[in-house]
């Protein structure tokens, strides 16, 4: 996620309930049989629109696929 988190930076991820996820959070999410960090762009009920820091959106994921939230980034 260029700009917010650069390749190789260490992040701390905290488990989170989908009820506590907010727009703008960086989340660790299961996406198409992979795992990645993405921004939450929109929330509609228990569905979350994820995308990157450059304006691209990837799609909607259910809350059950959000594993954690980034709480810190180390250089």
pLDDT tens digit string along 5-18?
887 889 999 999 99
What value does the mean pLDDT of the chain take?
Answer: 91
Which pLDDT score, from 0 to 100, does residue 1 have? 46
CATH fold of 10-74: Umud Fragment, subunit A (2.10.109)
Q: How far separated are the first and last CA of the chain, in Å rounded?
A: 14
Question: What are 10-48's pLDDT values in tens digits?
Answer: 999 999 999 999 999 999 999 889 999 999 999 999 999
């Amino acid at each position: 996620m260029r700009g917010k988190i650069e390749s190789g930076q260490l992040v701390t991820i905290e488990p989170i309930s989908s009820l506590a996820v907010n727009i703008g959070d960086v989340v660790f999410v299961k996406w198409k049989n992979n795992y990645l960090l993405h921004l939450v762009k929109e929330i509609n009920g228990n569905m979350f629109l994820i995308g990157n820091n450059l304006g691209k959106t990837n799609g909607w994921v259910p809350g059950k696929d959000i594993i954690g939230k980034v709480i810190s980034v180390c250089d």
